[in-house]
Structure 1
Amino acid sequence: MLIIKAKELRGLSDKELKTKLDDLNLEEAIEKRKIAATGVSSKVVKIRDIKRTIARILTILNERGAK
């Protein structure tokens, strides 16, 4: 679950978006720990994609006025 387009996200309810947001935050934390433990930065692209998807979700939630 890396890149999810804004068009797909807009079709989801606020509750589903918040669930996806929680999942992505957890996945990002796991990837950061893997990099910290191994010192290998091969997952940088994956973390960037996760951050962008998180930003998309937050933008959509802010547009809807849901917090």
Structure 2
Amino acid sequence: MAILRPNEIRDMSIEEMEARLAELRTELARERAVAAAGGSLENPGRVKELKRTIARLLTIMKESQKEGEVDRT
């Protein structure tokens, strides 16, 4: 799975973002399990990449939720 750029994420619907987030979290758990079992990772940088992409997704999801809120001041 490729890295998601902010522009690509913003073009997604909330449902697509949630689905992609679940996929990324599953892949991250799989990579961590391999590392914990003493296995050799194909791409050690992939764990960092996955964590960054998950954080990016969560940030943009939070931003889109904030945009939907009405200013109550």
Q: Is there any run of 5+ residues in structure 2 with no aligned partner, and where?
A: 67-73
Q: Which has the larger radius of gyration?
A: 2
Spell out structure 1 runs of 4+ moving beyond 6 A.
none
Measured against aligned partners, the alpha-carbon deviations of 1:14-62 in whole angstroms (never above 9, x if no partner) come to 0000000000000000000000112546643100000010011001100
The corresponding residue for 1:18 is 18
Name which structure has the greater RCO, CA cutoff 8 Å, separation 6+. Answer: 1
The corresponding residue for 2:46 is 46
CA distance in 2, matches of 1:19, 1:41: 25
Q: Is there any run of 5+ residues in structure 1 with no aligned partner, and where?
A: none
Report percent identity of matched pairs: 36
TM-score normalised to the size of structure 1?
A: 0.87
TM-score normalised to the size of structure 2?
A: 0.80
The corresponding residue for 2:58 is 58
CA distance in 2, matches of 1:64, 1:2: 22
Higher helix share: 1
